[in-house]
Structure 1
Amino acid sequence: MVSSEDVGQLVIVVVGALVFAAIGIVLFVILPSTLAQLLGVVLALGTALVGMRLAGNVARSIFPGYDVAEVAVEGPIARDGGGGRFPSTPGTTPADDIVEQIDRANDDDNAQALLLKLNTPGGEVVPSDDIRLAAMRFDGPTIAYATDVCASGGYWIASGCDELWAREGSIVGSIGVIGSRINASDFAEKVGLSYERFAAGEYKDAGTALKEIDEDERAYLQGLIDDYYDTFIERVSDGRDLEPEFIRDTEARIYLGEQAFDLDLVDRLGTRRDIEGELADRLDVDEVSVEKFEPKRPLMARVGAGAQTVAYAFGAGIAGFADERGFRLRS
């Protein structure tokens, strides 16, 4: 069935092509002499093609022909998309860009629902929470869809959506936090290095790799991890309507989609087509049309991202808080 949006787009494209073709004929065929006349037809056709493209862009802006916005979160979650602490992966997008696309979809009157595609092992804490908050701000149905992996920071984000869907073989969970530091004090001693402290504040250099950590510092750093873990559990409990003790009892395990569904960690199992059918029912239309909202990335950034890969263990997750002295926190 041809919609009014399709007809409107076609009319604008045809009219635009004719207008630019006429301009091209006048400029390159009728007015100029000899050389221009020889090349006139080619240039006129080229002008017509440019006109069709411009008219097509105008048509899509006036008659967008979509009612669902899709934003993808792929790869490790970081503020800068992995350019700093984490190497970037194909498809990785900076968290701020993801938030921007969700907000742009929220401001778009044509986007009546949000489909948040998740394929991530997790990442930094605050950027993950920023994406979750952006999803919660969206004025309309929001469905998070786990493809291959929705672990840790990905699950944190999903807790801000109305529903979480997954495939039977999707990896879901890892609701936990991990902190790490490198202890290089023995190595430093072997090569003749020593750590001399100049700091104001007892815990300013807690976790520094070149010195042994004492029990007070260990308790302090473990307390930071515990605080983030409590926050993680609170977010999931509120967003997913799960009991905090049940979440703790998962002990940051990962589950396949079917098992996650049985545990109520996932709302529905289904394919992308199933999700679109559900959204069509919610929006009361025969079928939905999905528009991908993606940030514009420079060519070299796309090439660089495509040339790199990164491997993450199944339990790798929210890697967020790290002080400048080398203490790293991941969930």
Structure 2
Amino acid sequence: MSTRADDLIDRRHLRRKLTFWRVAAIVIAAVGIVVASAWIYGGELGVTAANHIAKVKIEGTITEDDELLERLEKLRQSASVKGVILAIDSPGGTTAGGEAIFEAVRRLAAEKPVAAQVGTLAASAGYMVASASDHIVARQSSIVGSIGVLVQFPDITGLMDKLGIKLEEIKSSPLKAEPSPFNPTSEEERAMIRSMILDSYDWFVDLVEERRPLTKPEVMALADGSIFTGRQALERKLVDELGGENEAVGWMVKTKGVAADLKVVEWKAKGSGGLFLGSSLAQAVGQALGLPRAGADFMREIGADRLFLDGLVSLWHP
């Protein structure tokens, strides 16, 4: 009898253990599904159902960013997004990259209130993106401006001479693949590049004239590559208000009829959520190594991403 009683007790213990692990497995599976879904949909799950003001960070060097453009389009299509804040902290980047984001922001602003909130820096293509919004807010000590375009290329002919290296080339015309770091730049080549730069510069100036309460002569006076503090930029009408996120929200509430009780929710890039997913894993490793940030963020920290910019560049750097 004692043995049978012991068997019954053991069976009950076994059933409890099995029940515990079944429940645990279901919970783990559910958490996994939620995390995976949040990763796939850019962290929007469970957030975008309620009406809110969306925030998108545009940081570091600007290039043609398909993921960012897709995110801006999702914001435009989302019925729960009642306004958008572009949190900009960028020295600029490629002119084509800035143009693509500018156009995406204008499409978005045609349907929803869009404000730009400048952090430390919105210069060159960074300011181009900010000007696409309908209201620009900057800190008093933010750096704003640097309206202009540049092309930079090295001349390593002196180094080649020292190393005894000679480049042989055959090409269809003198300006093909010029300017080149392997040949001294001719005046004809400089004229070609300058013509291209001035054409893009005129386009940039026209954008600022269109988007800001400034005349063409006023824009030209500011578009000499100069940078300004937020206070100076306000005096010159390059920004509309001093402050931060609260002031950007306040503008939407006061002038665009956005409800004052809406929360500001950041729409992050795909793969940015979760310790073991995407860039967050690299970020955790970087923190363990004592680095400021990992992955692409770390590249931005050391400025290495600027070494790989192609085409015309609208970029400010000290």
Q: Is the 8 A contact 1:167 1:269 kept in 2?
A: yes
Match of 1:274 in 2: 247
Per-residue CA deviation, residues 221-248 of structure 1 (Å, 9 max, x unaligned), is: 1111111111111111112242222222
What is the 5 A alignment of 1:259-298?
259-281=232-254, 282-297=256-271, 298=278
Per-residue CA deviation, residues 270-306 of structure 1 (Å, 9 max, x unaligned), is: 2212222332332342322122112213245654235
1:103 pairs with one of 53, 73, 79:
73
Per-residue CA deviation, residues 55-82 of structure 1 (Å, 9 max, x unaligned), is: 9989965972232111110011123xxx
Would you say 1:37 and 2:16 are equivalent positions? yes
Distance across 1 between alignment mates of 2:71 and 2:85: 12
SS in 2 for 1:274: helix
Match of 1:65 in 2: 50
1:310 pairs with one of 294, 297, 301:
301
Q: Is the 8 A contact 2:125 2:314 kept in 1?
A: no
> Looking at both structures, which has the greater relative contact order when contacts are Cα pairs under 8 Å and sequence separation is at least 6?
2
Letter in 2 for 1:305: A
2:154 pairs with one of 182, 199, 212:
182
Q: Is the 8 A contact 2:48 2:81 kept in 1?
A: no
Distance across 1 between alignment mates of 2:47 and 2:238: 40
Match of 1:207 in 2: 179
Go from structure 1 to structure 2 and tell me whether the alpha carbon gap of 1:292 and 1:63 turns closer, same or farther (over 3 Å shift). closer
Distance across 1 between alignment mates of 2:179 and 2:26: 64
TM norm structure 2:
0.77
Go from structure 1 to structure 2 and tell me whether the alpha carbon gap of 1:62 and 1:117 turns closer, same or farther (over 3 Å shift). closer
1:239 pairs with one of 194, 200, 211:
211
Q: CA RMSD in A?
A: 3.0
SS in 1 for 2:56: strand
TM norm structure 1:
0.74
Deviation at 1:104, TM superposition (A): 0.7
- Percent identity over the alignment? 24
Deviation at 1:197, TM superposition (A): 2.5
Match of 1:9 in 2: none
Per-residue CA deviation, residues 83-122 of structure 1 (Å, 9 max, x unaligned), is: xxxxxxxxxxxx2221111101111110121111100000
SS in 2 for 1:179: coil
Go from structure 1 to structure 2 and tell me whether the alpha carbon gap of 1:45 and 1:213 turns closer, same or farther (over 3 Å shift). closer
Match of 1:89 in 2: none
Distance across 1 between alignment mates of 2:204 and 2:175: 24
Letter in 1 for 2:119: T
Go from structure 1 to structure 2 and tell me whether the alpha carbon gap of 1:112 and 1:253 turns closer, same or farther (over 3 Å shift). same
Q: Is the 8 A contact 2:52 2:263 kept in 1?
A: yes
Deviation at 1:205, TM superposition (A): 2.4
Structure 1 runs not aligned, ≥5 long: 1-31, 80-94, 323-327
Per-residue CA deviation, residues 116-147 of structure 1 (Å, 9 max, x unaligned), is: 11000000111111111111011111101101
Q: Is the 8 A contact 1:77 1:127 kept in 2?
A: yes
Q: Is the 8 A contact 1:96 1:127 kept in 2?
A: no
What is the 5 A alignment of 1:17-36?
35-36=14-15
Letter in 2 for 1:129: E
Q: Is the 8 A contact 2:52 2:82 kept in 1?
A: yes
Q: Is the 8 A contact 2:139 2:243 kept in 1?
A: yes
Would you say 1:114 and 2:84 are equivalent positions? yes
Structure 2 runs not aligned, ≥5 long: 1-10, 39-43, 272-277, 284-293
Moved more, 239-248 or 175-184: 239-248
Distance across 1 between alignment mates of 2:162 and 2:47: 70
